Structure 1
């Protein structure tokens, strides 16, 4: 695929406008960052509603023309806290062996491990020039 570059646009043989795509990505990323910040503020307000009793975990509440569902927070085992009271030396039946990836990378040459590596999808980030 051949690529042509000009100050205004970058197009490929398939007529993809990379400049426009990069500009769109930058704008979307900026909007997402703003929305994420705004969402955190709104969630903070709703958490205050939980503290005051205006909202309850596991309940739905009609607020104007919106039904707000408050899902109870998930309880998960804090493995570190548990391990302090039930160490693996005393309770080996509660633990399993796991691969120590640092030991593996220390023991093998990088090229010997290539066959075991996977590659994640590429990511793109656009920012103002």
Structure 2
């Protein structure tokens, strides 16, 4: 299964889950994850089997709960696919003090550089959960 090049270039691998690869977007302010179901040719949620839809929901819940255990205000979950059509789900930990709050973060840039220490932090956190 090949993941879209843009998704790979914009993010770091965190973990392989049952259905999806979990990646962290290189954002210097927000913990912004992507779940990418490892099934060929999918662009829409409804193209997943019922079983895979349930599995993806479980994976979204896992990531959301770990994010919520951090110092965040709200967990945002979305699947747009307007730029990259390959099915992928964004899960973003938002803070009321972040750069776009209360608006959407799409199209905004972090004022801070990405810290690679976040990758190791999240890899370790997820390895304890899996």
TM class by smaller structure: under 0.3
TM-score (norm 1): 0.22
**Of Structure 1 and Structure 2, which has the larger fraction of its residues in helix?**
1
**Of Structure 1 and Structure 2, which has the larger fraction of its residues in strand?**
2
Structure whose CA Rg is larger: 1
TM-score (norm 2): 0.21
Bigger RCO (CA 8 Å, 6+ sep): 2
